Amino acid sequence: MSARVLSGKELAASVRTEAAERATALAAAGRPPKLAVVVATADESSAWYVRSIARAAEKAGIACDVVDLGAEADPARIRDRLAELSADDTVHGVILQTPLPRGAKLEDLAGAIAVEKDVDGANPLSLGRLAAGLPAFAPATAEAVVAILDHHGVDLAGLHVAVVGRSTVVGKPAAHLLLDRNATVTVCHSRTRDLAAITAVADVVVAAAGRAGLITAEHVRTGAVVVDVGTNPTEDGGLVGDVDAIAVADKAGALTPVPGGVGPVTTALLLRHTVQAADRG
């Protein structure tokens, strides 16, 4: 058996086109949408990700300001800058890029991002609203997991989904979104005993641990759907997911690729969120 490839490229392209159309209309109405990305790291893969957001925004007609505070930035300065951008009427979306300087915690600093501009769902209030079933921007990666399954016709109602990872940016919000879609969700993490025993009975496995090759054929039930969120840089400058794609493709029914799966959908959803925020603002 060779798993169906659940590409994110077509979905991402249609979300980007829709965002670009909305951005054009907003600009014509005198409200050109703008995204601000606050960076406080010298991390190379983070820089690559920020460049790809800026490029995608520009192509969609969304202005993108990268506010680089330097890898040594003081947490108080980061917080102040986020508050300033939140108060700026010309800015509609604010993202705080990770990793952060030592001693700075995303969940803490992101509290300074106004909820209505929190297009990557980083403010704990956004996560709380999401958990309570209230309107809020979800972290784009978590939303991308559900969006890619929807796009490929996977009806989540009643399915057992094992989410591997419990971060506030991916695992936890993904679990809430999946619960909202009536899936039965098990959240696994680094202290889970016998991971394979849990994932191998799931209908869908969402791998979001940031560990290359963590999910092997042994972790997957025959015919299961596997969503690979992981992005792990390789020594030769490439990118691999958390799933041993070659072994798992022989057993799973469907698998998202890395690259070309969750990643492009994540970036496209950030653009969608930004025009939605501009629409409301």
Closest CA to 189 of 213, 212, 207: 207
Q: Which of 4, 51, 59, 189 binds ligand NAD (CB under 6 A)?
A: 189
Taking the least distance from each CB to ligand NAD, the nearer of 122 and 277 is: 122
Which residue, 26 or 146, has its beta carbon nearer to ligand NAD?
Answer: 146
The tokens 């072994």 sit on which residue? 247
- Greatest alpha-carbon span in the chain: 56
Cis ω on the peptide bond leading into residue 264 (within 30° of 0)?
Answer: no
Q: Is 95 helix (H, G, I), strand (E, B) or coil?
A: strand
Residue 185 is a binding residue for ligand NAD (CB under 6 A): no
Binding mask 219-258 for ligand NAD (x = CB under 6 A): ----------xxxx--------------------------
Cβ 192 to ligand NAD shortest distance, Å: 6
Q: Which is nearer to ligand NAD, 195 or 254 (CB)?
A: 195
CB closer to ligand NAD out of 20 and 212: 212
Determine, following the binding rule CB under 6 A, whether residue 273 of this chain makes contact with ligand NAD: no
Decide whether 160 or 211 has the Cβ nearer to ligand NAD.
211
Write phi, then psi, for 80 (nearest 5 degrees): -60, -40
Handedness of CA 244, 248, 252, 257 (dihedral sign): positive
CB contact at 8 A, 281 and 116: yes
**Which of 45, 42, 49, 51 is CA-nearest to residue 69?**
42
Binding footprint of ligand NAD on the chain (CB under 6 A): 141, 164-167, 169-171, 188-190, 192, 195, 208-211, 214, 229-232, 262-263, 266
